[in-house]
Each structure stands twice: as C-alpha cells, then as structure tokens.
Amino acid sequence: MRNGESYLDPKVARTVKRLDLKARFIVKGFMHGLHASPLQGFSVEFSEHRKYERGDDPKDIDWRLFARTDKYYVRKYEAETNMTGWLVVDSSASMGKSIGGETSKFEYAISLAAALSYLMIGRQDPVGLIAFDEKIRRSLPPKSKRSHFASILSTLSNLEPSGTTDVAAALTQLAGMLKRASLTMIFSDLLGDPEATLRAIYRLRHAGHDVILFHILDEAEVKFPFRGDVELEDPETGERIVVDADSIRGDYEAALEEFRERFRREASNSKFDFVELDTSVPFDKALLEYLTARAQRR
C-alpha cells in the first residue's frame, strides 16, 4: 500500500517532513521549558476525573484514586473539553518576504501553526485550518485524529504566499462558517486597515469565540536597521519609494508602537489575546512564553 507522501510532489514531501520535524522540535523545546515554569502540560487546569480509555497516557492515571476504588481514572483538564481550534494563516504576498533573516513571516507562521496543531491533536482536540489572503483560499475541517496532523502539514506545505491582504474580509467570512464556539488562532502581519480587522475580531468575540491574534513581523520591521537612502518596496503592489532611513526612523518606530498599542488596548477591552512576535524569536521560546502567560491569567 502506498503511503500518503508517495502521492506528493517530491519537493512538497520534503517540505512536509521538514515541517513535521520542526513542529515536533518546537513542542519538544516547549515541553522542556515547562519544567521550569508553572505549566505542567498544555492543559494546566484540573477539573475532574474520567474513566481511563484505551490510548490515554498511563501517566495521567490517578493512582491514589485507584487505590481507593480499584478502578482506573485519569485526571481531566480544562482543555479536554473538546474545544474546536481553527488555525487561520495569512498566506498573502507580504508574509513571504524576509528582509534580512533566514525565516520569512510566512514560514514562521506555518511552523507555529503546525506546532499548535500537534499540541491540540495530542490532547484529542479537533483542529481545522484556514489559509487566506483577501479571502479564504484553503480550508480543512476540524478533526482530532492523529492522521489529521499529516493532512494539516501537507496543506501548509503546499501553500505559496501570494495575493493582497484583507484580514477583515477573511475573518468575516470565517465567522459565517463557524457553527459553535471555537478557539480561533490567527497568524498575520496585519497589513491593512486595523479598524476593519478589529471589527471582524469583535464579531468573532461577540459570537463566543476565543481569539488569539499572533502578530508576526520580520525582525527588520521591528528593529528598523537601515541607514542612509533605502529603496523600499510594497510586497503586494510592487510600488517602490526611496527614503532617508535616518530621518524617518523615529516616525516609523512611533507609528509601529501606536499600531501595536491600539491592538493591546482593544485586546484587553474585548478579552482576546494579542501576541507580538518577530522572526528573530525562537519558536519554542515564543510558544512557552505565550502559553505560560495565558495560563497565569486564567
């Protein structure tokens, strides 16, 4: 019998393998970091017991309860309530650009998305995938089977950043698709109108969805390392301008901070998570710091 990879283009198959290894590496680093953190696992809040089922990790068995009842029970955590997750990945052209580093924003986004899908499926939570530019281009329905992880990797590996960005339109389209409360994880550089993007997020929150917004920028977009005259190109329109980097640095940094502060403030008011990342931050460190902070707030 031929396995799924034999049907893939060799280049895509290699990308799938690399992404698989990277996702597992991120999670391994994340789990290693847990030993020095308040977290004891992806699901951190104990809620109740349930009967042991085939496939459960024996490490989760409550042996004290077994001694009292002579029956096997495992500890059930808050995240085991089968919350459906959606990975919403911006695949527009701007995400594919890397100004100075080895990793593009798009590569960073799909690596984090793969790691989070690996974590969720490992907890038997269904997770689906959306890829968008100005509208939704690809989608996979949520599933919790381990084989679904391979489908997510294959889909991510086949994506090519292209097109213009319209985060608001894609999220509005997604809101109309969701039939039950979900955990919506968005990975984007948020190019576009912040007002429209925030309105789309408010709609998701109003419908009862939990929203995590990963704002991913290139390292150079955050640190602005340029000097003298620099030619800048819009990755989606191709428009080019020459600027004096030294004279605009202050205005650029102020505008970026104002943009991020707006999202921080609205995230606090509307109860969604706004996670600021750039491509210089190691994947596992980013995941550990975010999930640790999330657990401490809850």
* Cα distance between residue 106 and residue 175, in whole Å: 23
Q: Is 38 exposed, middle or buried (0-12, 13-18, 19+ CB in 10 A)?
A: exposed
Nearest Cα to Cα of residue 297 among 277, 273, 281, 275: 273
pLDDT of residue 39: 33
Q: C-alpha distances in angstroms, 6 versus 10, 91, 151, 160, 182?
A: 8, 26, 14, 21, 34
Residues 81-105 have a mean pLDDT of 86
Q: Quick check: 37 pLDDT over 60?
A: no
Q: What is the helix (H) or strand (E) element at residue 84, kind and residue range? A: strand 84-90
Nearest to 282 by CA among 37, 25, 97, 44: 25
- Which pLDDT score, from 0 to 100, does residue 80 have? 45
Distance CA 282, CA 216 (A): 13
Phi, psi of 192 (to 5 degrees): 130, -165
Helices (H), the chain: 10-34, 63-69, 105-122, 146-158, 167-177, 194-206, 219-223, 245-270, 283-297
The amino acid that residue 115 corresponds to is A
Please tell me the distance from the alpha carbon of residue 165 to that of residue 65, in angstroms, as a whole number. Answer: 53
User: What are 213-254's pLDDT values in tens digits?
Assistant: 999 999 999 999 999 998 888 877 888 999 998 999 999 999
3-state DSSP call for residue 12? helix
Angle at 278 between CA 165 and CA 185, to 5 degrees: 60
Q: Please give the share of the chain, as a percent, with pLDDT higher than 90.
A: 49
- DSSP 8-state assignment for residue 16: H
Q: pTM for the complete prediction?
A: 0.78
pLDDT of residue 100 exceeding 50, the answer is yes
What pLDDT is recorded for position 4?
A: 40
Give the tens place of pLDDT for each residue, 136-147. 999 999 999 989
What does the pLDDT read at residue 297?
Answer: 64
Burial 78-91 (b: 16+ CB within 10 A, else e): ebbeebbbbbbbbb
> In which residue ranges of the chain is CATH 3.40.50.410 found?
4-35+82-297
Structural fold of domain 4-35+82-297: Rossmann fold (3.40.50)
The neighbour count for residue 297, using CB atoms within 10 Å, is 7
